[in-house]
C-alpha cells in the first residue's frame, strides 16, 4: 500500500502542478508563463516527485511508464493493475482539486472547446495549426518511446547514480516543448484521463488515442532497451 500511495500522490502532483500551470498561469495577463513555463512545470513535477517518492514506488506516476518498465524487465507484472489504478485515481483527484480552484472564480462559466482544462486533443486548431489523428498518434508514440528510453537509461545500474530524476524531468520538459502544439502533450494516460473527465467536448471521445499511443510507445521502448542493454 505504501507504493500505491506514493504513486497516487505522485500522479496527483503531476496533474495538479503540470495541468494547473496550464490552466491557472499560462494565459494570465502580463505574468503568463506560456508554453515554455508549462513545459518546465511538467518537468518539475516529475523531477520533484521522483526524488520525493521514487525510493518508495519507483516514481512512475504514469501507466505508460509502468508498462514500459514491465516490458523492459524492470517491473513485476503482478503490480501493474494496482499501479495503474492508483495513478488514474491520483490524477483524477488532482484534476478535481484544480477544478474546484478554477470554478471558484466569479468569471467561471464552464469549459468548452479543444484543449480546455489542459485536455489533450487532435483534429483541432488550438495553437494556430490543425494536426490530424495520424500526426497526434505518431507524436504520442514517438514522444513516449523516447521518454521511456531516457527513463530506462537514466535508471540503469550502470548509469550515474543520483541523476536519474533530473534527466527524466528534463526529458519531459523537452517533450512538452515539442508536442504541446500538436496534442497538448499526453505521454501519460492518467494525466489525459484526469483532465478529460472535467473538460467535456471531444476530450472523452478522443481519450482512446491518449491511452493507445503512449502504451504502444512505452512498450516498444521497453523491448528495444532490453535488447540494447539486457543487464539492468
Q: Domain coordinates of the chain in residue numbers?
A: 2-228
pLDDT at residue 149 greater than cutoff 70: yes
For 89, 103, 195, the CA distances from 111, given in Å and listed in that order, are 22, 10, 11
pLDDT at residue 124 greater than cutoff 70: yes
Cell matching residue 167: 534527466
> What is the Cα–Cα distance from 66 to 83, expressed in whole angstroms?
7
Residues in the chain: 232
CATH superfamily of 2-228: Glycerol uptake facilitator protein. (1.20.1080.10)
Query: Model confidence over 33-68: pLDDT tens digits?
Result: 999 999 999 999 999 999 999 999 999 999 999 999
Query: Model confidence over 67-88: pLDDT tens digits?
Result: 999 999 999 999 999 999 999 9
Residues sharing a CB contact under 8 Å with residue 29, sequence separation 6 or more, in sequence order: none
pLDDT at residue 27 greater than cutoff 90: no
Q: What percent of the chain has pLDDT over 90?
A: 85
pLDDT band at 231 (very low <50, low <70, confident <90, very high): confident
Continuous segment of H or E residues that includes residue 124: strand 124-125
- Flag whether the pTM goes above 0.85: yes
Average pLDDT of the chain to the nearest whole number: 94
Amino acid at each position: 500500500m505504501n507504493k500505491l500511495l506514493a504513486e497516487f500522490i505522485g500522479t496527483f502532483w503531476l496533474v495538479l502542478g503540470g495541468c494547473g500551470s496550464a490552466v491557472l498561469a499560462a494565459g494570465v495577463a502580463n505574468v503568463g508563463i506560456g508554453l515554455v513555463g508549462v513545459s518546465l512545470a511538467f518537468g518539475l513535477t516529475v523531477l520533484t516527485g521522483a526524488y520525493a517518492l521514487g525510493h518508495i514506488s519507483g516514481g512512475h506516476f504514469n501507466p505508460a511508464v509502468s508498462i514500459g518498465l514491465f516490458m523492459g524487465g524492470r517491473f513485476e507484472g503482478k503490480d501493474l493493475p494496482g499501479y495503474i489504478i492508483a495513478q488514474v485515481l491520483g490524477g483524477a483527484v488532482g484534476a478535481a482539486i484544480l477544478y474546484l480552484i478554477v470554478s471558484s472564480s466569479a468569471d467561471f462559466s464552464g469549459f468548452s472547446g479543444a484543449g480546455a482544462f489542459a485536455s489533450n486533443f487532435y483534429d483541432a486548431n488550438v495553437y494556430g495549426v490543425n494536426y490530424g489523428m495520424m500526426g497526434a498518434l505518431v507524436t504520442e508514440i514517438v514522444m513516449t518511446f523516447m521518454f521511456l528510453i531516457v527513463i530506462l537509461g537514466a535508471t540503469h545500474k550502470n548509469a550515474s547514480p543520483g541523476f536519474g530524476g533530473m534527466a527524466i524531468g528534463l526529458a519531459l520538459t523537452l517533450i512538452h516543448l515539442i508536442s504541446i502544439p500538436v496534442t497538448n502533450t499526453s505521454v501519460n494516460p492518467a494525466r489525459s484521463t484526469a483532465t478529460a473527465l472535467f473538460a467535456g467536448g471531444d476530450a472523452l471521445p478522443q481519450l482512446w488515442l491518449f491511452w493507445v499511443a503512449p502504451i504502444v510507445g512505452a512498450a516498444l521502448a521497453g523491448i528495444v532497451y532490453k535488447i540494447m542493454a539486457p543487464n539492468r
